[in-house]
Amino acid sequence: MKRILHLTLHKRWFDAIADGSKREEYRAQTEYCRKRLEEKTYDEIHFRNGYNKTSPQMRVEVLGITTGEWQNEPCFIIRLGAVKRVEKDSDRANCDAEAKPAILDPDANGEPESQHSA
C-alpha cells in the first residue's frame, strides 16, 4: 500500500512543481509538520492547489525528507521526484461529489514561515 502525504499549495508553487522547475518543497518545523513528517516515509505526495473539491491536483514521487534551513529558519525539505499526474480544474469538473477533501494544511504557501497570523 502506498504511503501518501496530502499537502495544499498556492498556485505559484503548484505550477512550479508541475512544470519541474521546483524540485524541493519546504515546510516550517512546526508541531503540526513534525507530527506529519518527522521519522516518516512517504511514497507520494498529493498536492492540491486550494481547498475546493474541484481544485487542480497532482501526484508527485517523494525521494526523501530531510531537515535544513530556509531563510535562516529550520525547516523540513521534501525532495520531489517525477510528477506522475496533474489534474486541472476541467479534469475535476466531473469528479465524484463524494470525493475525499484534502487535509487542511496551515503551511500551504510552499515556503516555511516562522509565525502565522491569527
Pairing mode, strands 57-70 and 4-8:
unpaired
Q: Which three cell numbers stand for residue 69?
A: 534551513
Strands of the chain, DSSP E: 4-8, 24-28, 44-48, 57-70, 73-87
pLDDT of residue 108: 53
Reduce the DSSP state of residue 11 to 3 states and report it: helix
User: Residues 8, 51: contact at Cβ < 8 Å?
Assistant: yes
Nearest to 3 by CA among 49, 45, 38: 45
pLDDT at 115: 39
Tens digit of pLDDT for each residue in 78-96? 999 999 888 865 554 444 4
Asked if residues 59 and 78 have their Cβ atoms less than 8 Å apart, the reply is: no
pLDDT at res. 56: 95
pLDDT value at residue 53: 86
Nine-digit cell at 91? 479534469
- Going along the chain from its start, the domains and CATH numbers come out as 4-91 (2.30.130.30)
Prediction pTM value: 0.73
Residue bearing the bigger pLDDT, 104 or 110: 110
pLDDT of residue 103: 43
**What confidence tens digit (pLDDT) does each residue in 5-54 have?**
999 999 999 999 999 999 999 999 999 999 999 999 999 999 999 999 89
Region 101-109 average pLDDT:
46
